[in-house]
Structure 1
């Protein structure tokens, strides 16, 4: 009996010993890495090192300094202050509110609500406060009011080129670029974060010595735009004047280098202040109408029809037809504007007088597949690939119907939707010896190590022959010299241009409304084109045709650019 008890005791002692051995094996061998990491985490902290966001500049090509150009900052990083309260530290709340309200520009009631939260140790009152305001508040020596420095995106030119630049907003608690350049180049501007390993003391506080950088942050790149601030400022001012004069709700102007595709100005109205983007009630205001908004172009599309017919050699500039004021197509009567009947007319006169019947005549001399091919080769129905976020491709689906009526109306810009960037790229292709270029707005990327990456102009394709481009350019010069676009003429220079007055479709009832869109496209000097301009004004009042409403504006812009870039007269 005694032996039994002894052996039982030895068995349990051995079992306990085995359990202990197994537990030690598990902790020290099997889970060694886990507990090592757990212990390390009590004394280590891995901190993210955020890179500086790259900045954005325009290139001022006309400066009084010795340098060939001056960089004009449009999006930079700037230190601001967050003003916050610790409510339980504030004894005289009424005095605090009374002194803070006018300085912060915050309603007294709002401030009262915030500083009454006595159980809140941190109550933000306003962020992005400038240093002068902070210094003014500090002079009052208010108890419970504190300040915290933070780096924010700042746009020193405010609304200038706002649709091109975009802004920096939030995705959760992360700052990210939205719209325009800020959105398109988000990854390049933001850079890549790094990581640092820091030590903690026994209380969990970071120790400043002994930090070890595990991954260096990669700073964001700087961008230099093709846009000239002087041209942009002039164009924006003229657009605003025109919008107010015509009581129009919106409009767009683009200036492009025809041989490169570089955008020198891109302005739209209404604008917004990217420093105060959170105050904008309608987020559609952030969309860039120049690349996003598709519309029926109207008669400004007629040079595209003529380009196709000339290139297919089914017409010549002096080819004639009889204009009866209307054309019957598949049992439908399609009329000229104001029901005009001009009699025998040449193709050049069709553009000069903007005759719908003449555009139909040219279209009907081509095979439908050929007409469709040229429209697509000019880039309509496709994105141009401009380096801005939010571009749309328009709508050319009516080309797929093969319908006689649809093709007839497309010949003069109805039943097809295009964007302003597509139109100016197409006009620039005519000016550029028939070669379509890719539009772009970033001229140079500057890396933090000093290396630079220059954007090379990109040729998309040859659309029409050199001879066709030359003939069509001459026809468009005649439009400005002899046609309805005379008010766009600039003394001493040959200007090629075409107006468009397009009815706006009624998508609810069908057909068209009485409201219109006025456009004007031009390039100059016509014999050696350097710049193209596209003007669009939505729903103008008091003037029925673009030849009266915006042709004079086209002249003003051409005069400014010719003078600014010191282009000598050609006549």
Structure 2
């Protein structure tokens, strides 16, 4: 049937099409509205806020870093950020210009009445012209802020409402700038409170504390930045319909939240003792590649001191003050005559090396200290009988499949037949190659991993690296042999000391830490670090055997270990070829060349030997080879001894003398001045101390040595009963180097002096004076005490 009215049908279809089109359009608009108002609400709200508000960040006051006793190591001081609002500055200039012109007109008309001060000077002086003021203001800001006048002019001409002229401006200068512009009612030049980081102890513990500047941060400043940094505040300012910020006075400031304070396990005094003695070692032995030391609690993993020397000033972290870093770089690059351009080109690399914490970011061959680990593994696996097994050394060992013999540090005829204890005390390489073979490559690799040498220790410091050695699949017979005495593997000092902790603390591998706690601004502890056991590596029984064995190493070889009267100490030295440092040479012959060969000298020791509370590691990387001074026993051991000699009394660790030590105990001189001569003599007789009376008086008017000084048991105290001329009491210090204890004693007594001893026991055969505390030829008062260091002049690994 034909539709009688075709136009109606067309209109109907048009309505349907239009309705559908509008429906689709509406759905799209509605969907987009939902997306904007609901799904992306935050994004578009921020965009809207950006059109209505401008904001400026306010740095939070960074938390402080303290040592274990609360001594500040890093603090933030209040400084100021000086900024200018160029648009508002122009408005301020216009306002001032109108004031200047109005005053000039008032003066011309005679209608201006000045407000004079007591000196007759107008209190409300104005510049002669706006141009003169602008020039004066630009020069004033340039001088006060240490920038150029051109920089100030460029800032003034910017089309902006916020330009920073200078940051970290001290308060006196910020106040001067405020006063200058407030005098004329300017609101366009202002300051914001900011913070400046400074380090009161300068270079102390620099590689541990680290620093923060811009996007660069190291050490604690980096690893605990989340706590230290706090939350920045913000100043919000309104903008007009054209997007221009309204004057800065129309703003709201949201204060910053202060950062938390960090308290270290490190003690400033202990840290100073470490660094002071490392400095002496580096200078005495001309160490080329820095030195380091770690003192920690072997039961908990808490670090009492961690030092790298040379260090750097945290307040001037970009200044490379240690030239040996450049010398090391130039040696690696084969630059024999460096130019000024070379120093400039390699300064960034020198800085990076200087900033590194050697204890955790650099690896080295451990040498004979690793024999502690080989011994622990072999005892744990029962592959050796430490009471009955014996090991023969003829000065070298031939390894099947290896071209050359592997030598002992004591070349032919070697150590001969030895027990396990003798092999450990002698630090015999062939004996430990035998022990390594008994252990086998599979077990050796297992314990290398178990003691944590192939993984970071987890210490709470950034940029820690891990050690390396051949895997089980890669290890050949010769690799196992040299790894057994610490010459194939490379590890970090921190890995070495934590592994030694596990050997002596019952077998527990701990996670070391340098931060004790984090405290917020209200005094609440928000983080507390405690003992963390990673795993148990060896048994309590094996650990006890290792403690005793290492104690016997010290008592059996006092010349090559730390011996301090009154303290039971266990320890092991190490001397390693730094083959990883000669990796740029291609052939084995080149790498073994004595001319280019470098060494690492190290020592680890602990006390008390039966129940260790302290463990110390000292390492000198590439000491001078002259006179065999690169051996651990000659380089690292004296430094470790001097460190413990100071640290133990500081920590209140009282000495407990054995019978032999009591016989040779030094005597502290009592207070005798002011006493009658008879009473003084009676006191000294009761102590068994020799004396010499000078003068015919009845009262002691002076004494030498002074009260509290120590003298050897057969020393002499000089009692003055009459006033004497000081010059008449002076005697010359003799030359004592190389003297035996008996000869030194005879010379000193004959010179009217006293002495005390350190180092090797004076009862030990072959002991001679290695150093004296007062230089020969110096004139000193009669009775003065000289400290003599005795050593047995034999090489010990």
User: TM-score category by the smaller chain?
Assistant: 0.7 to 0.9
Give the Cα–Cα distance (whole angstroms) in 1 for the partners of residues 56 and 151 of structure 2: 32
Q: How much has 1:131 moved relative to structure 2?
A: 5.5
Question: Of the candidates 291, 295, 299, which is equivalent to residue 255 of structure 1?
Answer: 295
Q: How much has 1:121 moved relative to structure 2?
A: 3.5
- Check 1:329–1:208 CA distance in 2 against 1; reply closer, same or farther (3 A cut): same
What's the RMSD between the two structures over aligned residues? 3.9
Partner of 1:376: 449
Give the Cα–Cα distance (whole angstroms) in 1 for the partners of residues 190 and 251 of structure 2: 31
Deviation digits for residues 493-528 of structure 1, max 9, x if unmatched?
A: 111111111111121224344211100011111111
Deviation digits for residues 275-295 of structure 1, max 9, x if unmatched?
A: 222334322211111001011
List aligned pairs for 1:6-17, cutoff 5 A: none
Partner of 1:508: 584
Give the Cα–Cα distance (whole angstroms) in 2 for the partners of residues 38 and 533 of structure 1: 59
Deviation digits for residues 126-149 of structure 1, max 9, x if unmatched?
A: 8656567889999999xxx99886
Tell me: higher relative CO, structure 1 or 2? Use CA pairs within 8 A at least 6 residues apart: 1
Partner of 1:311: 380
- Check 1:404–1:349 CA distance in 2 against 1; reply closer, same or farther (3 A cut): same
Q: How much has 1:236 moved relative to structure 2?
A: 0.9
Partner of 1:74: 73
Partner of 2:203: 159
- Check 1:329–1:186 CA distance in 2 against 1; reply closer, same or farther (3 A cut): same
Deviation digits for residues 101-148 of structure 1, max 9, x if unmatched?
A: xxx9x9xxxx7xx3466743379998656567889999999xxx9988
Q: How much has 1:470 moved relative to structure 2?
A: 1.2
Give the Cα–Cα distance (whole angstroms) in 1 for the partners of residues 45 and 453 of structure 2: 63
SS at structure 2 position matched to 1:365 = helix
Give the Cα–Cα distance (whole angstroms) in 2 for the partners of residues 315 and 46 of structure 1: 73
TM-score normalised by L of structure 1:
0.80
Q: How much has 1:428 moved relative to structure 2?
A: 1.3
- Check 1:118–1:38 CA distance in 2 against 1; reply closer, same or farther (3 A cut): closer
8 Å CA contact 2:560, 2:634 repeated in 1: no
Give the Cα–Cα distance (whole angstroms) in 1 for the partners of residues 141 and 250 of structure 2: 41
Partner of 2:224: 185
SS at structure 2 position matched to 1:415 = coil
Give the Cα–Cα distance (whole angstroms) in 2 for the partners of residues 353 and 485 of structure 1: 12
Q: How much has 1:185 moved relative to structure 2?
A: 1.6
Q: How much has 1:80 moved relative to structure 2?
A: 3.6
Partner of 2:154: 120
Give the Cα–Cα distance (whole angstroms) in 1 for the partners of residues 634 and 174 of structure 2: 53
Q: How much has 1:190 moved relative to structure 2?
A: 1.9
Q: Does residue 1:526 correspond to 2:560, yes or no?
A: no
- Check 1:40–1:57 CA distance in 2 against 1; reply closer, same or farther (3 A cut): closer
Deviation digits for residues 83-108 of structure 1, max 9, x if unmatched?
A: 999999557999999x98xxx9x9xx
Give the Cα–Cα distance (whole angstroms) in 2 for the partners of residues 360 and 43 of structure 1: 77
8 Å CA contact 1:262, 1:439 repeated in 2: yes
SS at structure 2 position matched to 1:279 = coil
8 Å CA contact 1:53, 1:77 repeated in 2: yes
- Check 1:363–1:133 CA distance in 2 against 1; reply closer, same or farther (3 A cut): farther
Partner of 2:67: 58
Partner of 2:309: 269
Q: How much has 1:331 moved relative to structure 2?
A: 3.6
Q: Provide structure 1 residue ranges, at least 5 long, that are not aligned to the other structure.
A: 1-21, 61-70, 172-176
Give the Cα–Cα distance (whole angstroms) in 2 for the partners of residues 566 and 237 of structure 1: 20
List aligned pairs for 1:75-224, cutoff 5 A: 75-80=74-79, 114-115=148-149, 119-121=153-155, 128=168, 130=170, 150-171=194-215, 178-193=217-232, 199-200=238-239, 204-205=245-246, 211=252, 219-224=258-263
Partner of 1:231: 270
Q: Does residue 1:434 correspond to 2:517, yes or no?
A: no
Partner of 1:299: 368
SS at structure 2 position matched to 1:529 = coil
Deviation digits for residues 271-324 of structure 1, max 9, x if unmatched?
A: 122222233432221111100101111111111111111111121333212211
Partner of 1:350: 423
Larger Rg: 2
Deviation digits for residues 371-390 of structure 1, max 9, x if unmatched?
A: 21112111111100000001
| Matched residues, number | 520
8 Å CA contact 1:322, 1:344 repeated in 2: yes
SS at structure 1 position matched to 2:598 = strand
- Check 1:283–1:39 CA distance in 2 against 1; reply closer, same or farther (3 A cut): closer
Give the Cα–Cα distance (whole angstroms) in 2 for the partners of residues 298 and 393 of structure 1: 17
8 Å CA contact 1:485, 1:551 repeated in 2: no
Q: How much has 1:197 moved relative to structure 2?
A: 5.5
More displaced, 129-138 or 462-471?
Answer: 129-138
Partner of 2:708: none
Give the Cα–Cα distance (whole angstroms) in 1 for the partners of residues 237 and 165 of structure 2: 33
Q: How much has 1:561 moved relative to structure 2?
A: 2.1
SS at structure 1 position matched to 2:456 = coil
SS at structure 2 position matched to 1:500 = strand
Partner of 2:357: 288
Partner of 1:560: 646
Q: How much has 1:217 moved relative to structure 2?
A: 5.7
More displaced, 515-524 or 31-40?
Answer: 31-40
Question: Of the candidates 466, 486, 490, which is equivalent to residue 417 of structure 1?
Answer: 490
TM-score normalised by L of structure 2:
0.59
Give the Cα–Cα distance (whole angstroms) in 1 for the partners of residues 225 and 45 of structure 2: 39
Deviation digits for residues 142-192 of structure 1, max 9, x if unmatched?
A: xxx998864221111111111111111213xxxxx6121111122222234
8 Å CA contact 1:310, 1:316 repeated in 2: yes
Partner of 1:339: 411
Q: Provide structure 2 residue ranges, at least 5 long, that are not aligned to the other structure.
A: 1-24, 87-130, 157-162, 182-188, 321-346, 658-797
Deviation digits for residues 34-56 of structure 1, max 9, x if unmatched?
A: 99988765544455454332221
8 Å CA contact 1:298, 1:413 repeated in 2: yes
8 Å CA contact 1:82, 1:124 repeated in 2: yes
Give the Cα–Cα distance (whole angstroms) in 1 for the partners of residues 496 and 319 of structure 2: 33
Partner of 1:483: 557
SS at structure 1 position matched to 2:68 = strand
Give the Cα–Cα distance (whole angstroms) in 1 for the partners of residues 193 and 55 of structure 2: 23
- Check 1:92–1:182 CA distance in 2 against 1; reply closer, same or farther (3 A cut): closer
SS at structure 2 position matched to 1:490 = coil
8 Å CA contact 1:485, 1:499 repeated in 2: no
- Check 1:437–1:44 CA distance in 2 against 1; reply closer, same or farther (3 A cut): same
